[in-house]
Amino acid sequence: MKLTYIYHSGYAIETEGLSLIIDYYKDSANEGGVVSNLLKKEGKLYVLSTHSHADHFNKEILKWKDAKKDITYIFSKDILNNGFAKADDAIYLDKLDTYKDSNIAIKAFGSTDLGVSFLMEIKGKTIFHAGDLNNWHWNEESTPEEIQEAETYYSKELELLAANVKYIDLAMFPIDPRLGKDYMKGARQFIEAIKVDILVPMHFGEAYDKAAAFSEIAAKNKCRYISWKKKGESLEF
């Protein structure tokens, strides 16, 4: 199975007979990069979006069905509710909703911002894309009450996920330096609550060095961490 970092929170997963593109925002290259290749590739393509924020959902993806016949869109329900897509454009999932076919099983979990996160079972692998699930707080700017509210909100969503899954083969999770000194806290809490074999960062923009700093925390939790150096890099897992 192959994972490719597209950009921001966008990832592609490829395995025999099927591919997924998750939270496409923009591609890794101006000429099309990862997406153009997957639209030409044989087999089923699933396109997932965790929520309607512009850095996770680009309406351009709805045009891909013109180039690829065997394509299924699976979106968070807020994308429909906010008018970014029509009812017949996709399959829509709210928190704890599920989708299953002969290739893939998906269960939507919560977010601490908009939309959902996705827990997926693909060919015997358990894969998680967090969307905007994270411990979002700015300690340098927030009041103690706001910080505690963020902690409580995140803890509840993490506890729910941990009650449903004990082991994840691959997790895509936000490590966003804009949060300030505790920007890695949410990811640390995540791998402390759930055994994760491989974790890859999201939501870090161009701050590759800041994202790479999580490797030490991951190692202490016996988690393999991938520090990307550029867009379009891939990992076999």
Per-residue pLDDT tens digits for 188-228: 999 999 999 999 999 999 999 999 999 999 999 999 999 99
State how far the alpha carbon of 196 is from the alpha carbons of 11, 125, 193, in Å: 18, 12, 9
pLDDT digits (tens, 9 = 90+) for 154-198: 999 999 999 999 999 999 999 999 998 899 999 999 999 999 999
Structure tokens at 74: 């699976």
Asked if pLDDT for residue 139 goes beyond 80, the answer is: no
pTM as predicted: 0.95
Residue 29: predicted pLDDT: 65
pLDDT digits (tens, 9 = 90+) for 26-64: 886 654 578 889 999 999 999 999 999 999 999 999 999
- What are the sequence ranges of the domains in the chain? 2-236
CATH level 2 (architecture), domain 2-236: 4-Layer Sandwich (3.60)
